A and B are shown apart, each in its own frame.
Chain A
Amino acid sequence: MPAKLLLRLIALGYLALLILVPTGTIVWRSLGSGIGAAWASITTPDSVHAIWLSVLLVLIAVPLNAVFGVLCALLLVRHDFPGRAILGALIDLPLSVSPVVVGLALILAYGQTGWFGAWLQAHGLQVIFALPGMALATMFVSLPFVAREVIPVLKEIGTDAEQAAQTLGASSFQTFRRITLPAIAAGLGYGIVLATARSLGEIGAVAVVSGRLVGQTETLTLVVQDRFENFDLTGAYTAALLLALMAVVTLLAMNALAPKERI
């Protein structure tokens, strides 16, 4: 059927030109000046620090958001309380706020002249232009992913098994640990993968609150931009390749854990 073939070609052509070919060029460009040059640019102390910082931010933001996401989902699905509808609406809010606005909001709340600036300074805590602010920015942008994946699963599984466990004398924690957690594990895992990808790739919010001090508060995404703007193309493409490799791993995990009804 020629019409069907034409539609297939248009769809695949669009995907190839927009997604596939550009992504392929990173590999070609970063290794273009030799693997030695690429390796040298990614093993400078500043690069290694940036890689470590990016990983550290993921390790802070993702577990906190995973715990928050599960608690929030349990609260929204299993409990009734005043303000539940508001919480349900608020949970998606971070998805529609520009990352730069997130950064500005954190500065105005926790920066030196911000609402809590004086109190934080009196207690010797620096949030903005330091790790805590970057962690807050990363947590903000990756907040909804776990809750959004767990909520539909909780609705789907219902409360029969949980109630049976409770009548048989299980405590709330035992019920959660033995019944609820195994049931939501796949959704939770998918949410964690999405949150990890978002945290690792964050640039707008972190750019604002980090102050972009090379070797101190610069994450791997900021390294890409910084090096590109300073005409260090090999350095920019190598850091980008490293991020892209992490993205491919994430993508594989996404497809392994994604809700099955898709294909």
Chain B
Amino acid sequence: MQGVVMGYLSLLVLIPLAAVLVHAAGAGFNAFLSAIMAPDAIAAVELTAVCSFVVAAINALAGTLIAWVLVRDFFPGKGIVNAIIDLPFALPTIVAGLTLLELYGPNSPLHLNLAYTRVGIVLALLFVTLPFVVRSVQPVLLEADRAVEEAAASLGASSWQTFRRIILPGILPAIISGSGLSFARAMGEFGSVVLISGNIPYLTEVASVHIYGQVESSDMLGAASLSIVLLLISLVTLLLIAALERRFLRHAR
């Protein structure tokens, strides 16, 4: 059983990813360095990182708000709203990109043309990463002990103070892990962005689209080198989430 699992994982994930590493390192460190220091590569990674960071920050706020409304507020149709949260995970990303372009593109019925802009990229990334924070904060809010909040309120705390001092420390680890995951997802996103961004080099070309272009033009060294950069960024993100979560969990206790 162990052999089957490890064999499957190796053939599918480990060996191919090792091939990327070996290919990037194969031409020597200087070749790797000059591949990742190419101005268009730097521009693509920087654009992706900035957009992903903005997306993670907006998700931390909007996701927490939505989770709070879903848990603490009551209104007709709440079940449907709760179901819609999963839509971005169910809907193919290219379909998401196409519809956002329709609504916020050159033919926008709202007269709001965000096509080929960084705001458009952020919008597409917000769509596909919506569930991460909502779904990580929601269960924690459900479990939270309301009596502590009532005690704070009865001792004269304002709603903001109660939120800031009582609710927030409890849900902070969940917010961090949710927005961290949405950052990692946004860094590698392709399908939802490729149509709305217009892929203009230096301006609106994200990292994964840049790598796609390199593969298409058989620049395998450039593609492999930039892939290693992306893999490192997601690795650091995952480690950072784990470390921050541990720290805040200890702090909350």
Among B17, B83, B185, the residue within 8 A (CB) of A251 is: B83
B127 at the interface (CB under 8 A from A): yes
Considering the chains assembled together, what is the distance between the CA atoms of A96 and B132 in angstroms? 13
Proximity string of chain A (62-82) to chain B, C-beta cutoff 8 Å, 1 when within and 0 when not: 000000100110110001010
Q: Is the CB of B212 within 8 A of A204?
A: yes
Interface residues of B, Cβ cutoff 8 Å to A = 1-2, 4-6, 8-9, 12-17, 19-20, 23, 62, 65-66, 68-70, 73, 75, 78-79, 81-96, 98-100, 102-104, 123, 126-127, 130, 138-139, 142, 159, 181, 184-185, 187-191, 194-195, 207-209, 211-212, 215, 220, 223-224, 227, 230-231, 234-235, 237-238
Considering the chains assembled together, what is the distance between the CA atoms of A251 and B81 in angstroms? 12
Smallest CB-CB A-B distances: 4 pairs: A98-B188, A201-B92, A204-B190, A105-B16
Q: Is the CB of B93 within 8 A of A7?
A: no
Interface residues of A, Cβ cutoff 8 Å to B = 3-4, 7-8, 10-12, 14-15, 18-23, 25-26, 29, 68, 71-72, 74-75, 79, 81, 87, 90-110, 114-115, 136, 139-140, 143, 194, 197-198, 200-204, 207-208, 220-221, 224-225, 228, 236-237, 240, 243-244, 247-248, 250-251, 254-255, 258, 261-263
Considering the chains assembled together, what is the distance between the CA atoms of A247 and B92 in angstroms? 7
Closest to B73 in A: A8
Considering the chains assembled together, what is the distance between the CA atoms of A255 and B70 in angstroms? 15
Chain B residues contacting A91 (CB-CB under 8 Å) are: 9
Chain B residues contacting A102 (CB-CB under 8 Å) are: 16
Among B20, B87, B191, the residue within 8 A (CB) of A105 is: B20
Chain A residues contacting B159 (CB-CB under 8 Å) are: 3
Considering the chains assembled together, what is the distance between the CA atoms of A18 and B223 in angstroms? 32
Chain A residues contacting B20 (CB-CB under 8 Å) are: 101, 104-105, 108
Considering the chains assembled together, what is the distance between the CA atoms of A262 and B86 in angstroms? 12
A3 CB to closest chain B CB, in angstroms?
7
Q: Is the CB of A93 within 8 A of B188?
A: no
Closest to B65 in A: A11
